[in-house]
């Protein structure tokens, strides 16, 4: 299959390209498109056969449910059994945006979309291309991140092309994604709302609205996460990643020492530094992932920097940790998983 790569204006998408993409979706095909978090791999969420194609294109395990994307709040009504008040409050405050809600599914949503579960994940993205595509398709769009299963999520069209060329019909290139880490997945089926995956909407923001919200204890290393997708190896570049956490000066010292040691052994070392620390490193391929005082710059670049190390072909990646407040929680969740929990914690 030839994969068409089509450029669209990310702010004001032209209707002609959107129409072509919507035709593919209505015919039961696959289109990758930008959202504010990461690129999604879309299919008609109400067509079981179309949803199954997503699993095949990504090599995704069958039990890992998809997120259903809508373009207007009222569209959620057809997808869920009932809509609790706290869901409505959250939708009003955070939609469109990077928050996914888990609720009991309606009979309209096929089990191939929900990975066999009786619940469904729903989100309304705020990216103009995503919104236009869903509207023009006239159906809700199931879309996981548009990477091969296990790899870092794609945050630009080139990264999608690298993984999906020949596997899907079309990629809409609307430029780089703003947030860079995926949506927050919030389970509303229990008594207390529970974050199954930290993401673009922070736990602090959710707390303000809900008063009480829990973080799935299964997200800790060695535990069993509640969300099927969280149990798989994930976000992994080819080279092994080591995350160094603790005070910044100590991080720099440790990474410098290890980079020198590995280089002396003839290894190619990639260092994921930050704007504040980049200048201190003299060994290896050093990239700043972003500004420690602006976590959005870090989340926006995280996955593309990991993929950059793959392209260079480094043997080891040494990454600095950042504080877990705000978007830092999602960043560290992804980074630790990318490292397979290979972490050094310094005092």
Contacts by residues 293-297 (CB-CB < 8 Å, ≥ 24 positions apart): 295/322, 295/325, 295/326, 295/327, 295/328, 295/331, 296/178, 296/179, 296/180, 296/327
**Least distance to ligand TXA, CB of residue 154, Å:** 10
- If the CB atoms of residues 186 and 269 are measured against ligand TXA, the closer one turns out to be 186
Residue 318: name the closest of 266, 247, 233, 243 by CA.
243
- Cα–Cα distance list, 225 to 62, 218, 240 (Å): 17, 4, 23
Q: Which does 337 bind (CB under 5 to 8 A by kind): Mg ion, ligand TXA, none?
A: none
The answer to whether residue 193 forms part of the interface with ligand TXA (CB under 6 A) is no
Residue 190: name the closest of 218, 216, 221, 219 by CA.
216
- If the CB atoms of residues 65 and 97 are measured against Mg ion, the closer one turns out to be 65
The answer to whether residue 114 forms part of the interface with Mg ion (CB under 5 A) is no
Stretch 163-182 residues interacting with ligand TXA (CB under 6 A): 182
Q: Tokens representing 242?
A: 């080591």
The answer to whether residue 338 forms part of the interface with ligand TXA (CB under 6 A) is no
**Least distance to Mg ion, CB of residue 235, Å:** 8
Residue 42: name the closest of 131, 146, 117, 114 by CA.
146
**Least distance to ligand TXA, CB of residue 70, Å:** 11
For ligand TXA, which residue of 64, 251, 274, 288 counts as binding (CB under 6 A)? 64
**Least distance to ligand TXA, CB of residue 209, Å:** 19
The maximal CA–CA distance of the chain, rounded, in angstroms, is 61
Residue 168: name the closest of 28, 31, 8 by CA.
31
- If the CB atoms of residues 183 and 283 are measured against ligand TXA, the closer one turns out to be 183
Residue 253: name the closest of 125, 151, 344, 131 by CA.
344
Looking at residue 183, the DSSP 8-state letter turns out to be P
Residue 6: name the closest of 115, 129, 154, 137 by CA.
129
Q: Which does 40 bind (CB under 5 to 8 A by kind): Mg ion, ligand TXA, none?
A: ligand TXA
The answer to whether residue 145 forms part of the interface with Mg ion (CB under 5 A) is yes
At residue 199's C-alpha, the angle toward residues 100 and 270, to 5°, is 145
**Least distance to ligand TXA, CB of residue 307, Å:** 16
**Least distance to ligand TXA, CB of residue 201, Å:** 10
The answer to whether residue 65 forms part of the interface with ligand TXA (CB under 6 A) is yes
The answer to whether residue 87 forms part of the interface with ligand TXA (CB under 6 A) is no
Binding site for Mg ion (CB under 5 A): 145
Binding site for ligand TXA (CB under 6 A): 35, 37-38, 40, 64-67, 98, 100, 102, 114, 117, 119-121, 123, 125, 143-145, 182-183, 185, 196-197, 227-230
């Amino acid at each position: 299959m030839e994969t068409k790569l089509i450029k669209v204006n990310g702010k004001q998408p032209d209707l002609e390209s959107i129409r072509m993409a919507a035709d593919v979706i209505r015919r039961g095909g696959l289109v990758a498109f930008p959202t504010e978090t990461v690129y999604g791999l879309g299919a008609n969420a109400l067509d079981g056969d179309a949803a199954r194609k997503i699993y095949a294109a990504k090599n995704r395990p069958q039990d890992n449910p998809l997120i259903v994307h809508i373009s207007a709040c009222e569209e959620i009504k057809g997808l869920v059994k009932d809509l609790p008040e706290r869901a409505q409050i959250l939708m009003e405050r955070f939609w469109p945006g990077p928050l996914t809600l888990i609720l009991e599914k309606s009979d309209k949503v096929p089990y191939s979309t929900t990975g066999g579960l009786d619940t469904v994940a729903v989100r309304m993205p705020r990216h103009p291309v995503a919104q236009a595509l869903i509207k023009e398709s006239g159906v809700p769009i199931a879309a996981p991140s548009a990477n091969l299963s296990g790899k870092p999520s794609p945050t630009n069209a080139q990264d999608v092309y690298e993984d999906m060329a020949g596997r899907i019909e079309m990629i809409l290139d609307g430029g780089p994604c703003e947030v860079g880490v995926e949506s927050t997945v919030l389970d509303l089926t229990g008594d207390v709302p529970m974050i199954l995956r930290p993401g673009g909407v922070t736990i602090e923001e959710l707390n303000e609205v809900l008063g009480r919200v829990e973080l799935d204890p299964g997200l800790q290393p060695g535990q069993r996460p509640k969300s099927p997708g969280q149990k798989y190896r994930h976000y992994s570049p080819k080279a092994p990643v080591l995350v160094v956490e603790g005070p910044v000066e100590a991080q720099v010292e440790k990474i410098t020492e290890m980079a020198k040691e590995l280089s002396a052994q003839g290894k190619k070392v990639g260092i994921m530094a930050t704007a504040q620390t980049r200048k201190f490193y003299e060994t290896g391929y050093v990239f700043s992932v972003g500004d420690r005082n602006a976590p959005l710059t870090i989340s926006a670049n995280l996955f593309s920097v990991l993929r950059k190390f793959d392209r260079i072909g480094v043997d080891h990646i040494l990454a600095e940790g950042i504080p877990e407040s705000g978007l830092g929680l999602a960043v560290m969740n992804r980074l630790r998983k990318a490292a397979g929990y290979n972490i050094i914690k310094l005092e």
